[in-house]
Amino acid sequence: MTEALLYILGILILVIGLGVSIALHEIGHLVPAKLFGVKVTQYMIGFGKTIWSKRKGETEYGVKLLPLGGYIAMTGMYPPNRPGGKARVSTTGFLNTVVQEGAPKRGVAALVDEARQASADTIVEGDDGRTFYRLPVWKKIVVMLGGPVMNLLLAVLFFGIVVVGFGTPQITTTVAAVSECLIPAGSDATSCDASHTAGPAAAAGIRPGDTIVAIGDRRDVTWTDFRDTVADSPGQTLRITVERDGAPVQLSLTPAANERWVTDADGKVRLDTDGQPMTEYVGMVGLSPAEVMEPQPITAVPAFVGNAVGTMTNVIVGLPQRMVDVWNAAFSTADRDPNGPVGMIGVGRLAGEIVSMDQLPIAARVQTMFSLLGSLNVALFVFNLVPLMPLDGGHIAGALYEGIKRGIARIRRRPDPGPVDTARMVPVTMVVVVLLGAMTLLLAYADIVKPITLGG
């Protein structure tokens, strides 16, 4: 019963944390929009039917039924169509529509006009000067960048709590475990037998809890020093000093030549010219180090967040292939990649597992939840910067394009071309929305039929 309640608590913590992250994301848009004089008619968390709202001044603040995001409604998101325009072609990649001024419009052209009209309908008399499309380019970028930046700041906060308050795992030279034997790469064995090479560390008398303090005359060694020396010394006897129960103990250690996979910088096994996995022989002794959580200075937080952003960027760039892998795993017997994308159902499951895992100390569970919330905000930051409508990155890309056009016009001493007609991207927006919806449904299905759990 207690475990079930803790599981539910973990999900609630995640939902609340995600709700706060979405709410502050929209605050990041709302504040600069109001500071720049844009009329904001709505600030909503969620989509669908409104379940609660309250009007304050000219803005309605509320919560909607589906907590899958949020938005603010600004007047005049799209500029009006310029009168007297010539016939032009609107291309979506699937069809081309030639629009003659005054002619009835169909297909993509009608869709674009509907978007323009909906935008125009938000402008009441006297508010034309308070529209989004009239903002200077840099102000548009600030408004649209405000949401992702808020998520980045939240990621810095959550990861800062983890890094400074709890610490990061640091490998020590204290021995955590000693193996009785060495099992070569590719072996299916799970226990030692007479065919396996005896573990040199066990044969040398090294015990769990020993701390390696010297190799030969070299003192104050790190685990990296010890590992590299062992790898480079197969068959050579090393004189090492360990600290045991507060006293130094001299031992002789002879690394065995053991076969292992050759991997690249990403940890993937390299293949030879025949397509076979490559192996190499290195010195191994059969022990593993202990890890400790060591609090870091606040100056370590930016690099920690930067690494998280870089990792998430790689995930987003490879998202199409990763979604194919999710599809294959969901509808076949293939294993699901534990490092692949996870939907909200999967993230909720992980949060429940973290909080209800009584094998972990409470501090470790709290730390992991902060890490999860930090990762979610990094995901919101990176994903919203994808330069496609309706994501923030799409609006930023439109503003940058407008700035380039106006800059070129000034250089060529031509008339100001005016705001970029972002309404023409509405068809692309609808395609993106459909794709995002399909991705959400696929991840939800995969999270149910083949979930990713902490136990793998």
- Give catalytic residue positions: 26
Choose among 53, 50, 35, 79: nearest CA to 402. 79
In order of 90, 199, 433, 452, the CA distances from 285 in angstroms are 68, 6, 55, 34
Q: How many Cα atoms sit within 13 Å of 186 on the Cβ side?
A: 11
Omega of the bond leading into 390 within 30 degrees of 0 (cis): yes
Q: Which tokens go with 265?
A: 């910088």
Can you list the alpha helix ranges (DSSP code H) found in 344-425?
A: 344-356, 362-384, 392-411
Could you tell me if 399 and 141 are in contact, meaning their C-beta atoms sit under 8 angstroms apart? yes
Q: ∠ CA 172-238-214 to the nearest 5 degrees?
A: 40
Angle between helix axes 426-449 and 107-121 (nearest 10 degrees) is: 90
Q: Which tokens go with 215?
A: 């190799």
Could you tell me if 202 and 178 are in contact, meaning their C-beta atoms sit under 8 angstroms apart? yes
Could you tell me if 436 and 320 are in contact, meaning their C-beta atoms sit under 8 angstroms apart? no
